[in-house]
Chain A
Amino acid sequence: MGSPYHPGHLAIGFSVWATWFVFLYGGLSVGCQIEVPAEGRGPFTWINGVLIIYTLVVGVGLIMAAEWCRRAVKRLPERSHPLAHDLHGRRMYSRYYIASLSGWLYIAAGISVISVGLPLLVLTPCV
């Protein structure tokens, strides 16, 4: 998994998104059990604050992972043709394919985290 060419990266980005989502939803419920923020504070509550920071950390982390994959793609000596018939050519294209696909999936996961977290900026929790 340490290599950006590992196929596991195809699933990691959105697995992080899914885990983030569960903890976002669960965290909101637990936060509301611990202490319901005072009325009239709108989105400016400790719950929103914690969840916004959490969202930013995960979102930025995913976008950094995408950048890591992009650099890995650039590091490849040459972009072999997808229909290469020799073993080396096939292996190189597989690496290119997996790293670039993973990069796009990391970006999509990062955008999904930020998008789903946007309501934290405007809505009051626990009501």
Chain B
Amino acid sequence: MTEITASKSDEMHQKFNRVWGNPPGIRSLTIVNHSAIGLRFIVTGLVFFIIGGLLAMLLRTQLALPSQEIIDPDTYSQLFTMHGTIMMFLFAVPVLEGVAIYLIPKMIGARDLAFPRLSAYGYWCYFFGGVILLSSLVLGIAPTSGWFMYTPLSGSTYSPGPGSDFWLVGVTFVEISAVSAGIELVVSIMRTRTSGMALHQMPLFAWYILVVGLMIVFGFPPLILASILLEVERAANLPFFDVARGGDPILWQHLFWLFGHPEVYIIFLPAAGIISTILPVFCQRPIVGYRWVVVGVVLTGFISFGLWVHHMFTVGIPHLALAFFSVASMLVAIPTGIQIFSWLATLWVGKPVFHLPMLWVVGFLIIFVAGGLTGVMLALVPFDWQVHDTHFVTAHFHYVLVGGMFFPLMAGLYYWLPLVSGRMPSKVMGRWGFWLTFMGFNLTFFIMHLTGLLGMPRRVYTYEAGLGWDLWNLVSSIGGFVMAAGVAVSFLDIILHFRYGRPAKTNPWNADTLEWATSMPPTTYNFLSLPDIATRHPMWERPDLPQTIAAGQHRLMTIDHGRRETWGTDAVTGKVREVIHLPSNTWLPFWASFVTAVVCITFLIGLYWLAAIAAVGTLILLFRWSWENGAHPLAAPEEKVDRGATPVHSRTHDGPGLWGMNLTLFANGALFLSLVFGWCYLWTVGPNWQATDRPVSGLLLLVSGIALSVGARWLNRAVHRLKNGNADHLEKHFWTVTVLGVLHFCIVLWALISATLEPTKTSHDAVITVMMFYVLVHGGVAAVIIALQATRVRMGWVGKMAPYEPIVAAQWWYYTVGVFWVTYGAIILMPLALGVD
């Protein structure tokens, strides 16, 4: 530990600010810092929430009385579709990601997330995707098929306008943002914790976000794939969901809910993480059953992937299969129950103080438990058949989502407000906001259970008088407006507190976690010096941490080299392994996402040639991004590394980029396996599946696969030698691998061009076409990646002293080999084995 004087400390803060500071004005678009990006996610998400809430008010206005004509049926359909879409895709997930992006580095004692440029890219993808989606509403051409866009309703026959296209393109854009945030958070939690923070000493919130990040990585790709397939079907007439040509609309439902059900828990778990963080603070004792809560979170994460068919109980699946999913749906209540009992036990044995955040916590407990119970009712197949597509289901999922996400979010916002602003919220307005929201919510949605049981279907724009629904709908609508007033009061309170809130003292709630050891509001680098932490409750055991950290009494204080740095630690023990060198502010993420938005918009308006140019532009920008890495002069202003000092990650074999690449490939693999699932599904149960006779040359594919595999083996040997300190002829090896990659690419392209595929006639050929394109793109990228590495060797940025990048790049090759041979097995060997001629 080094101790420095106060003036020296101020000087250090100024030096850190020069390296870590956020630029003003237009250059603020270049900011990559996690605090700024996290806040942008939160504020943008809340703006979308207000828009989605206004749409809900319009819906409730229309339904308040029978036979109203305020809104026409088509507009009503647009409103409920956009309400659900905004709330699920533009509010719930992004705002919680924003909270995690803002808090996680502070909680685990890091200066930033592992991939700051990815954070910024994710935000801009979200922003542009959201704007694209909302523009359809402003133009009056919003989608009308409901937030889950069931086919064939969302297909070109029944939804010929551009509404579905806006949804598919916009949501895919937003999903890219979510996946990038998921990867970023998982790697950061695993590899950037401060020295000594072992896995079992992580704050519970970090456990929750770790599980959620992994769920995003595996859960979102099925919908990305489904959206691509449906958009390709609409734009290019490839029939994936058209029964007449061998497709099946039920495939959409499978792919959607493979994403959709985990999505519910992706929303719930971070919110539960907020509860598990706040509740012990206001009970002033550690949570009861830390380890059981971790077990519960991991269990929930996994089991949530085995429930998707419970959204499809009425589509005619064999009842034995329904029973599997019914049991799994009931099982998931157990880990949720573990968490609830842990919270109740903490309340029981602690001394709870009901400050404002705790009101929202209690509101959450009441509403979420009620929603969970109706969820168990819906897991029973016969009951589900009775109330399917009624207001009962609408009421249930609002109890789960508003109770399970919005209430904890508000608790979290109020809890962490002093950290963000340095000021306390108003007690009076805050309580008014809570009670109005709580009462209004229950008035709206408890009543909806009754209208649902009385038979009122969801998504009807009006109803006749005298069906027994009139009074209940009026009460529901009044409740909706009361709730809206509550939300407005709370938001007003939050806005006003930035000016009128009384200044907060250090650690105002006497919390235990490390984020409260930063200044209030935090600096861009969070901690001037990084402390050793070997406890779950650092602020309770060492309340002087804010002072000792700001005084520079801990480690990693070097800043003269001009690099942004944080610790890279062992995933399990938290032992320091390397110094992670983080990138500075850059325009690249903004322009990369902007040009991707150009791809989407030009695609939507039918300028396909411009879309293709923009897509190439996006690729070039992304490769430029990868170029400014490691030992590149723009990435490393000062290359000097002290002998014997902890190495910079680019000089090691296992930096965060390797973890990031592997997680990206997991996400990519989830997308690819969803495609293979679609192939097997249509082959097995597609009503009109028509297999054609060997439309692609197996011999050509075999030769291309051999070239690819030889290249991967060659690369593997070169990388292995490099890891052992032998960089002889490295550039030549990489060029040889590149040539093999180009050969593979050209042969696959040849196989595709010479194939007798008729992708618009049968879904068999359509799926093969998509698989071939998938393999082609991956082969092409693999060749370019290694060509860039060969060039970097020549520039002196990769070699014996910096062996890290080829290790990361090699993972792409191994993955490409894997997916190639699976594709070969699926489209060449499987038909041979099944004797299809």
Interchain CB contact (< 8 A) of B302 among A18, A82, A119: A18
Q: Is the CB of B328 within 8 A of A116?
A: yes
Q: A14-B299, A33-B684, A97-B291 are in contact. Are A90 and B327 (CB under 8 A)?
A: no
Does A61 interact with chain B (Cβ within 8 Å)? no
Q: Is the CB of B302 within 8 A of A101?
A: no
Residue of A nearest to B214 (CB): A11
Does B369 interact with chain A (Cβ within 8 Å)? no
CA distance A119 to B326 in the complex (A): 10
Q: Is the CB of A29 within 8 A of B327?
A: no
**Residues B696-722 near A (CB distance < 8 A):** none
CA distance A29 to B291 in the complex (A): 39
Q: A112-B331, A115-B327 are in contact. Are A83 and B319 (CB under 8 A)?
A: no
Does B690 interact with chain A (Cβ within 8 Å)? no
Residue of B nearest to A5 (CB): B572
| Chain B interface bracket (under 10, 10 to 19, 20 to 34, 35 or more) | 35 or more
Interchain CB contact (< 8 A) of B294 among A28, A101, A108: A101
Q: Is the CB of B324 within 8 A of A97?
A: no
Q: Hey, which chain A residues are within 8 Å of B58, CB to CB?
A: none
Q: Is the CB of B534 within 8 A of A83?
A: yes
Q: A21-B328, A82-B200, A105-B295 are in contact. Are A112 and B320 (CB under 8 A)?
A: no
Q: Is the CB of A104 within 8 A of B320?
A: no
Does A66 interact with chain B (Cβ within 8 Å)? no
Q: Is the CB of A105 within 8 A of B323?
A: no
Does A84 interact with chain B (Cβ within 8 Å)? yes
**Residues B310-332 near A (CB distance < 8 A):** 318-321, 323-324, 326-328, 331
Q: Is the CB of A127 within 8 A of B318?
A: yes
Q: How far is the CB of A34 from chain B (nearest CB, A)?
A: 10
Q: Is the CB of B327 within 8 A of A119?
A: yes
Q: Hey, which chain B residues are within 8 Å of A105, CB to CB?
A: 295, 298-299
Interchain CB contact (< 8 A) of B305 among A18, A101, A123: A18
Q: Is the CB of B295 within 8 A of A119?
A: no
**Residues A1-41 near B (CB distance < 8 A):** 7, 10-11, 14-15, 17-18, 21, 24-26, 28-30, 32-33
Q: Hey, which chain B residues are within 8 Å of A17, CB to CB?
A: 302, 306
Q: A120-B320, A127-B318 are in contact. Are A94 and B199 (CB under 8 A)?
A: yes
Q: Is the CB of B198 within 8 A of A108?
A: no
Q: How far is the CB of A76 from chain B (nearest CB, A)?
A: 14
Does A118 interact with chain B (Cβ within 8 Å)? yes
CA distance A123 to B535 in the complex (A): 51
Q: How far is the CB of A119 from chain B (nearest CB, A)?
A: 3
Q: Is the CB of A25 within 8 A of B198?
A: no
Q: Hey, which chain B residues are within 8 Å of A123, CB to CB?
A: 319-320, 323
Q: How far is the CB of A91 from chain B (nearest CB, A)?
A: 6
Convert A79-91 into 0s and 1s, putting 1 for each residue whose CB lies closer than 8 angstroms to a CB of B.
0001111010011
Q: Is the CB of A108 within 8 A of B299?
A: yes
Does B685 interact with chain A (Cβ within 8 Å)? yes
Q: Is the CB of A119 within 8 A of B200?
A: no
Interchain CB contact (< 8 A) of A127 among B198, B319, B571, B685: B319
CA distance A7 to B573 in the complex (A): 11
Interchain CB contact (< 8 A) of A90 among B198, B318, B324, B680: B198
Q: Hey, which chain B residues are within 8 Å of A25, CB to CB?
A: 309, 321, 324
Q: Is the CB of A97 within 8 A of B331?
A: no
Convert A98-127 into 0s and 1s, putting 1 for each residue whose CB lies closer than 8 angstroms to a CB of B.
101100110011001001111110011111
Does B261 interact with chain A (Cβ within 8 Å)? no
Does B548 interact with chain A (Cβ within 8 Å)? no
Interchain CB contact (< 8 A) of A119 among B305, B324, B575: B324
Q: How far is the CB of A5 from chain B (nearest CB, A)?
A: 9
Q: Hey, which chain A residues are within 8 Å of B746, CB to CB?
A: none
Residue of B nearest to A13 (CB): B302
Residue of B nearest to A118 (CB): B327
Q: Is the CB of A30 within 8 A of B303?
A: no
Convert B661-705 into 0s and 1s, putting 1 for each residue whose CB lies closer than 8 angstroms to a CB of A.
000000000000000000010001100000000000000000000
Q: Is the CB of B302 within 8 A of A97?
A: no
CA distance A115 to B492 in the complex (A): 49
CA distance A10 to B190 in the complex (A): 14
Q: Hey, which chain A residues are within 8 Å of B324, CB to CB?
A: 21, 24-25, 116-117, 119
Q: Is the CB of B685 within 8 A of A94?
A: no
Q: Hey, which chain A residues are within 8 Å of B319, CB to CB?
A: 123-124, 127
Q: Is the CB of A21 within 8 A of B306?
A: yes
CA distance A112 to B331 in the complex (A): 7
Q: Hey, which chain B residues are within 8 Å of A11, CB to CB?
A: 298
CA distance A30 to B685 in the complex (A): 9
Q: Hey, which chain A residues are within 8 Å of B575, CB to CB?
A: 87
Q: Hey, which chain A residues are within 8 Å of B298, CB to CB?
A: 10-11, 14, 105
CA distance A98 to B327 in the complex (A): 28
Q: Which of A24, A85, A105, A119 has the most CB of B within 10 A?
A: A119
Q: Is the CB of B534 within 8 A of A126?
A: no
Does B84 interact with chain A (Cβ within 8 Å)? no
CA distance A100 to B290 in the complex (A): 13
Q: How far is the CB of B501 from chain A (nearest CB, A)?
A: 36
Interface residue ranges, A against B (CB under 8 Å): 7, 10-11, 14-15, 17-18, 21, 24-26, 28-30, 32-33, 82-85, 87, 90-91, 93-94, 97-98, 100-101, 104-105, 108-109, 112, 115-120, 123-127
Q: List 22 A-B contacts (CB under 8 A).
A: A7-B572, A14-B299, A18-B302, A25-B324, A29-B684, A30-B684, A33-B684, A82-B201, A83-B534, A84-B534, A90-B574, A91-B573, A93-B200, A94-B200, A97-B198, A115-B331, A119-B320, A123-B319, A123-B323, A124-B319, A125-B318, A127-B319
Query: Nearest 7 CB-CB pairs, A to B?
Result: A119-B323, A14-B302, A97-B200, A123-B320, A125-B320, A116-B327, A21-B306
Given A21-B324, A118-B327, 4 more pairs with CB closer than 8 A = A28-B320, A30-B684, A97-B199, A123-B323
